[in-house]
Amino acid sequence: MPAPLGRDFELTRKQLEDWLPGRLAERFGDVSDVRVGELGGPEATGFSSDTLLFDVDFRAAEGPRRLGLVARIRPTRMFLFPEYDLAAQFRILSALEPTDVPVPPAWWQEPSGDVIGSPFYLMGRVEGRTPSDNPPYNAAGWVTEVEPAERTAIWRSYLETLVAIRRLDARALGLGFLAKPELGPTPVAQELAYYRRYLDWIYAGREHPTVSVSLPWLEANLPEESGPPCLSWGDARIGNMLFQQGRCVAVLDWEMARLMDPMMDLAWGLFLERYHTEGSKLERLPGFLDRARTIALYEELAGEPVRHLEYYELLAGMRFSVILTRLAQQLMDQGFLPEDSDFEWNNPVSNLHARQLVEMGIR
């Protein structure tokens, strides 16, 4: 992920150094000699919230301490999503800490912009490696260098994590606030209403040549939803996970979290894997499971068959097409794409989504 645009790292470092002593004292008692180290950004992944990594050294009663921290900051320039509820993300992390789903520890949140100019929260830094978005993990980087057996372990751990998330009692964990009944009577209807508003927000009456076909079809063919909605991670992909020797040690980025049918997370992962291979004209690396074997393993782990998966895969393609439309607008705004670029709708994601429509006989 690129460094947060327009941010003075040295000023931010000093502002955090002034703010952190009070927060550290809440956890560790009397502290002194608080020093925030050099700020940096994560490499090769992420496109939405600003993210900073740093160490903080301090002296507590038992002696010197060091914490590795990650700051997630509300964007200050151009939003990828219509709104950013950092407090919700912090609540999710806090709720999941005692569960079997591995997440970074949630340390503190600052809802105002008084400290560094924008709301933020801090979580603990977890040691591990993330499959890269840019360049794609199956084209370059550490994932291409490990043995196929480790890639299989990565994929299995990913599916085990999806199953662990779906088994959580979201309402007992206090996550019922993720439901959006004002948008529709069911979770999938709410999700479609959200993305229709999202599309209207970024397109202002214009039509996306592919989503203008898929979204009405999805709205007219709502599937029967099985059981009460589960926690849906939202951006459920290996690029949002930290791994150690093929084992997931942290699940990251909960800004797309919802209460939904668990098929949404599986479908999102399947569409993203298809995008990273067929959509990007790249081969699947040995060890990663294809769609059929992924579904079979997921069913084995979950103990029940998948349902309406093609519908949710089409929904995943629609969601990603809308998100990439907004990302294209950001890239044009920042000068990385020319203003007359057609990348908003002519890109690998939207083109793959158009292929889905043909395969399902919709277009």
* Mean of pLDDT values over 8-12: 92
CA nearest neighbour of 213 among 347, 348, 345, 80: 345
* Mean of pLDDT values over 138-146: 95
CB 202 within 8 A of CB 330: no
pLDDT of 90 over the 80 cut: yes
Q: Answer positive or negative: Cα dihedral of 79, 243, 55, 63.
A: positive
Predicted local distance difference test score (pLDDT) of residue 76: 76
Q: How confident is the model at residue 46 (pLDDT cuts 50, 70, 90)?
A: very low
Q: Which CATH architecture has domain 142-359?
A: Alpha-Beta Complex (3.90)
Predicted local distance difference test score (pLDDT) of residue 3: 42
Domain with CATH 3.90.1200.10 in the chain: 142-359
Predicted local distance difference test score (pLDDT) of residue 49: 56
Predicted local distance difference test score (pLDDT) of residue 6: 61
* Mean of pLDDT values over 10-29: 95
pLDDT of 4 over the 50 cut: no
Instruction: Mean pLDDT check: name the lowest of 31-45, 179-193, 232-246.
Output: 31-45
Mean pLDDT (the chain, rounded): 93
pLDDT of 350 over the 70 cut: yes
pLDDT of 278 over the 50 cut: yes
CB 193 within 8 A of CB 315: no
Helices (H), the chain: 9-28, 86-96, 142-145, 148-166, 187-203, 211-220, 263-276, 291-302, 309-333, 348-359
Domain with CATH 3.30.200.20 in the chain: 9-124
Q: How confident is the model at residue 204 (pLDDT cuts 50, 70, 90)?
A: confident
Q: How confident is the model at residue 14 (pLDDT cuts 50, 70, 90)?
A: very high
Q: How confident is the model at residue 2 (pLDDT cuts 50, 70, 90)?
A: very low
Return the H-helix or E-strand segment holding 73: strand 63-73
Predicted local distance difference test score (pLDDT) of residue 50: 85
281-320 confidence digits (pLDDT tens): 999 999 999 999 999 999 999 999 999 999 999 999 999 9
What distance in Å separates the CA atoms of residue 142 and residue 262, rounded to the nearest whole number? 30
pLDDT of 148 over the 90 cut: yes
Secondary-structure class of domain 9-124 per CATH: alpha beta
Instruction: Mean pLDDT check: name the lowest of 72-81, 159-168, 261-270.
Output: 72-81
54-71 confidence digits (pLDDT tens): 999 999 999 999 999 999
CB 5 within 8 A of CB 77: yes
pLDDT of 210 over the 80 cut: yes
